[in-house]
């Protein structure tokens, strides 16, 4: 089930030439040197160690700030190729949820082209694991496979399974040799179930500032539909238990902060609310697909740090409408989000569900924004 009923926005969008087709680049590239390639054929351990009981919500604190990254990328992974392309990147990482999440933006230039991307990292306090979501500005969509893992003994390892050149493979991201001023990162693929690994993205990352680069709206080649939402907000929310026959609404109040991503080609929004059942934190990522000319909006809350099914849509006549189909209480339903009544200092958001394929709609989350 998606994160409906607790959703919030953040944009990420863009254009830019990506690294050539056929190369999987995941997990906001950052850190590691050529020695990492030695892991290429190292057999994996045959027994997995038990899940750690430690609280890892501050494991990524080291990455907050601005960095320079020297990247080496294997041109044709899993083909026996030994041809690498090198380039330099700027990496900026800001906190989300007071450190239980972070947003990393990367801009990389190599002889093969220019890449602008981001990684959204969110912590699941129950599983005590991190989820890493990647998006490329040229596509404006969060990737479906999500790298999941944790830190142990100062080393972070994150895994997912995905399709590469028509085959199902394993993908591994590693962070290690972490110091206050540097760290290493490696992406590697395995086509034999994790018995051997081939590194294909190796980076050395060096700190240039303790502070992330200040978000800006400097990009001219951007869609401006969500510019109205940038800034600090007081928010009032009414919530209803969806599709239950219940007519009792609850009232919530809190704040929202919406900041640009990719110099305004996207944005990220954080919300904190207090109501009858406690305290809620949420984050939303809005990404623009320049080819389809549509936005995807992905929501997550701090209770599990998991991104739900994104709603997809666009703005027309000063109103934004977004829709998806997803599972809710064991059934497939339609979910609709819309933004309306937009002024320089206020706007209105509504979420509604439909259990009859869009014939009728029941609102369940009403939010009023007032600029602070």
3-state secondary structure the chain: CCCCCCCCCCEEECCCCCCCCCCCCCCCCCCCCHHHHHHHHCCCCCCCCCCCCCCCCCCCHHHCEEEEEEEEEECCCCCCCCCEEEEEEEEEEEEEHHHCEEEEEEEEEECCEEEEEEEEEEEECCCCEEEEEEEECCCCCECCCCEEEEEECCEEEEEEEEEECCEEEEEEEEEECCCCCEEEEEEEEECCCCCCCEEEEEEEEEEEECCCCCCCCCCCCCCCCCHHHCEEEEEEEEEECCCCCCCCEEEEEEEEEEEEEHHHCEEEEEEEEEECCEEEEEEEEEEEECCCCEEEEEEEECCCCCCCCCEEEEEECCEEEEEEEEEECCEEEEEEEEEEEEECCEEEEEEEEECCCCCCCEEEEEEEEEEC
Query: How confident is the model over 120-178, as pLDDT tens digits?
Result: 999 999 999 999 999 999 889 898 778 999 999 999 999 999 999 999 999 999 999 99
d(CA 314, CA 322): 7
Q: Read off φ and ψ for residue 331, nearest 5 degrees.
A: -120, 155
What's the pLDDT at 143? 83
Instruction: Report how far apart, in Å, the C-alpha atoms of 169 and of each of 34, 165, 166 are.
Output: 23, 10, 9
What's the pLDDT at 179? 97
Pick out the chain residues at pLDDT < 70: 1-53
Cα angle 328, 147, 25 (rounded to 5 degrees) comes to: 120
**Which segments of 188-246 does DSSP mark as H helices, in order?**
none
Judge whether 144 and 326 are in contact, CB under 8 Å: no
Q: Give the chain's largest Cα–Cα span.
A: 64
d(CA 30, CA 63): 10
Judge whether 142 and 103 are in contact, CB under 8 Å: no
Residues 6+ apart with CB under 8 A from 81: 74, 75
Q: How far is CA 32 from the centre of its chain?
A: 22
Judge whether 256 and 270 are in contact, CB under 8 Å: yes
Query: How confident is the model over 82-122, as pLDDT tens digits?
Result: 999 999 999 999 999 988 999 999 999 988 889 999 999 99
Q: How far is CA 336 from the centre of its chain?
A: 21
What's the pLDDT at 53? 66
d(CA 306, CA 108): 27
Owner of token pair 């305004």: 264
**Residue 146, token pair as written in the block:** 């999500």
Domains defined along the chain, listed by start: 16-209 (2.40.128.20), 214-371 (2.40.128.20)
């Amino acid at each position: 089930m998606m994160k409906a009923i607790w959703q919030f926005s953040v944009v990420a969008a863009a254009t830019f030439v990506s690294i050539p087709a056929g190369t999987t680049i995941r997990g906001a590239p950052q850190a590691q040197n050529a020695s990492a390639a030695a892991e290429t054929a190292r057999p994996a351990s045959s027994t997995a160690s038990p899940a750690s009981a430690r609280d890892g919500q501050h494991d990524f604190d080291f990455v907050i700030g601005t960095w320079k990254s020297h990247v080496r990328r294997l041109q044709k992974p899993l083909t026996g190729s030994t041809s690498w392309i090198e380039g330099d990147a700027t990496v900026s990482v800001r906190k989300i949820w007071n450190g239980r999440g972070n947003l990393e933006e990367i801009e990389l230039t190599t002889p093969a082209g220019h890449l602008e991307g981001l990684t959204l990292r969110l912590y699941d306090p129950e599983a005590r694991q991190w989820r890493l979501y990647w998006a490329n500005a040229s596509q404006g969509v969060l990737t479906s496979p999500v790298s999941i893992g944790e830190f142990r003994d100062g080393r972070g390892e994150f895994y997912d399974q995905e399709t590469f050149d028509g085959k199902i493979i394993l993908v591994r991201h590693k962070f290690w040799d972490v110091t206050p001023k540097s760290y290493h990162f490696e992406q590697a693929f395995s086509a034999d179930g994790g018995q051997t690994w081939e590194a294909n993205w190796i980076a050395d990352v060096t700190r240039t500032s303790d502070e992330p680069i200040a978000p800006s709206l400097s990009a001219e080649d951007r869609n401006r539909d969500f510019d109205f939402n940038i800034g600090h907000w007081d928010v009032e929310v009414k919530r209803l238990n969806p599709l239950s026959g219940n007519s009792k609404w609850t009232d919530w109040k809190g704040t929202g902060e919406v900041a640009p991503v990719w110099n305004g080609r996207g944005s990220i929004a954080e919300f904190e609310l207090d109501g009858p059942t406690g305290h809620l934190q949420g984050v939303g990522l809005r990404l623009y697909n320049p080819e389809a000319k549509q936005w995807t909006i992905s929501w997550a809350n701090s209770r599990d740090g998991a991104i739900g099914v994104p709603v997809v849509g666009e703005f027309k006549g000063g109103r934004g409408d977004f829709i998806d189909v997803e599972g809710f209480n064991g059934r497939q339903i339609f979910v609709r989000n819309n933004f309306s009544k937009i002024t320089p200092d206020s706007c209105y958001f509504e979420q509604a569900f439909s259990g009859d394929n869009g014939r009728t709609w029941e609102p369940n989350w009403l939010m009023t924004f007032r600029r602070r």
